[in-house]
């Protein structure tokens, strides 16, 4: 992998990640852009203890532009985008409309491919491996940014999820706090250790799923994918490396080599869940990584969560009263049935 860092016209950082070591990235952003002005603010919910980002400047962000005006495509003669070069492999840049900025953290955009009409599932294993390298490098870089406590790499796919740009891309957030979801996991980690004489919750969870097998979707030498026993979403898969590590930086070579094949297979199965002729399955894919300064980080287990809000053909799972008002999820699809369906749609060998 070759990494080339440059600056956009308004001073935001942009980083090219190339599979070829001889790639040359010297294109200059010719646009006349004002410096990014943000109003990000972190407020604490006094009742729940949650951190809430208030970012009113995002009201004016780009919203469903036509394909020939996509800001994530490579620049062409006469049409300049967020990526100055005419081609790229993977590129990461600071978000022009960040939810978090300055002392309130950092937001980046990850473009997986220059092909506007592709999706992550269309990537080759080499391309998917380069995205993993980019996620890992950004985690390492943001770990050194003062004030950033946790890095969250994720992808939203599909208009039903709320995506405002159709080009295949994801985002990376550098939170200046430990995310509420992670804080809950860390508390569960503590309680499990106290109840079991020091055993690790994540290790026991993965071992139980592998031994039971009913909810396992895919198991290899380096990765295990399963539907959780108490899945929140109609089709939800958690993916764990065989060796527990706190974040992407600690993955070993064997796990990194095998990841593209495993992840691409899971994404392709998601697109086959509801049969031929169905539109692409909307999903959220999220890496859970340990906070940097937490004393329990070595007990935390890096894992990827992949889920869809589509519960059956033409029907979505909405977060209504119980879910949105009380955080009590009601799942219409039994996790065992979801796992069975995800095994049925495996790629032909």
Instruction: Please state, in angstroms and rounded to a whole number, the distance separating the CA atoms of residues 147 and 346.
Output: 43
Reduced to 3 states, what is the DSSP secondary structure of residue 310?
A: strand
- Residue tagged active-site, from 169, 192, 288, 303: 169
Instruction: Please state, in angstroms and rounded to a whole number, the distance separating the CA atoms of residues 180 and 45.
Output: 11
Instruction: Please state, in angstroms and rounded to a whole number, the distance separating the CA atoms of residues 21 and 253.
Output: 20
Instruction: Please state, in angstroms and rounded to a whole number, the distance separating the CA atoms of residues 71 and 83.
Output: 8
φ, ψ at 136 (rounded to 5°): -65, -45
The DSSP annotation for 102-147 comes to GGG-EEEEEE--S-TT--GGGS-HHHHHHHHHHHHHHHHHHHTSTT
Q: For the chain, count helices (H), then strands (E).
A: 6, 15
- Active-site residue, 169 included: yes
Q: How far is CA 276 from CA 74, 241, 265, in A?
A: 32, 31, 17
Q: How far is CA 67 from CA 63, 111, 166, in A?
A: 12, 15, 8
Q: Looking at residue 37, what DSSP letter applies?
A: -
Q: Which two tokens stand for residue 146?
A: 């003062």
Instruction: Please state, in angstroms and rounded to a whole number, the distance separating the CA atoms of residues 5 and 16.
Output: 6
Residues acting as catalytic residues: 169
């Amino acid at each position: 992998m070759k990494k080339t860092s440059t600056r956009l016209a308004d001073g935001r950082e942009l980083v090219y990640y190339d599979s070829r070591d001889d790639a040359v990235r010297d294109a200059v952003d010719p646009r006349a852009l004002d410096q990014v002005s943000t109003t990000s603010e972190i407020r604490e919910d006094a009742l729940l203890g949650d951190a809430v980002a208030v970012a009113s400047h995002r009201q004016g962000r780009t919203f469903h532009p036509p394909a020939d005006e996509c800001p994530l495509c490579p620049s062409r003669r006469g049409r300049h985008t967020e990526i100055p070069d005419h081609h790229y492999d993977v590129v990461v840049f600071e978000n022009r409309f960040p939810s978090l900025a300055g002392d309130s953290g950092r937001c980046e955009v990850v473009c997986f491919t220059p092909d506007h009409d592709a999706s992550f599932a269309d990537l080759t294993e080499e391309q998917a491996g380069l995205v993993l390298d980019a996620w890992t490098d950004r985690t390492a870089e943001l770990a050194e940014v003062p004030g950033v406590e946790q890095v969250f790499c994720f992808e939203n796919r599909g208009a039903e999820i709320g995506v405002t740009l159709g080009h295949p891309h994801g985002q990376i957030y550098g939170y200046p706090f430990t995310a509420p979801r992670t804080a809950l996991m860390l508390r569960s980690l503590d309680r499990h250790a106290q109840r079991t004489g020091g055993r690790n919750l994540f290790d026991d969870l993965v071992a139980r799923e592998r031994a039971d097998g009913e909810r396992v979707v895919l198991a290899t030498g380096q990765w295990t994918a399963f539907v959780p026993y108490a899945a929140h979403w109609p089709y939800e898969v958690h993916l764990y490396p065989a060796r527990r590590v706190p974040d992407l930086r600690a993955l070993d070579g064997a796990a990194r080599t095998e990841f593209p094949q495993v992840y691409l297979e899971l994404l392709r199965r998601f697109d086959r869940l509801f049969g031929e002729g169905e539109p692409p399955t909307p999903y959220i894919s999220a890496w859970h990584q340990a906070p940097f300064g937490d004393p329990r980080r070595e007990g935390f287990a890096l894992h990827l969560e992949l889920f869809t809000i589509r519960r059956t053909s033409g029907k979505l799972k909405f977060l209504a009263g119980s879910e949105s008002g009380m955080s009590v999820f009601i799942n219409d699809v039994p996790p065992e049935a979801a796992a069975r369906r995800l095994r049925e749609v495996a790629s032909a060998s």
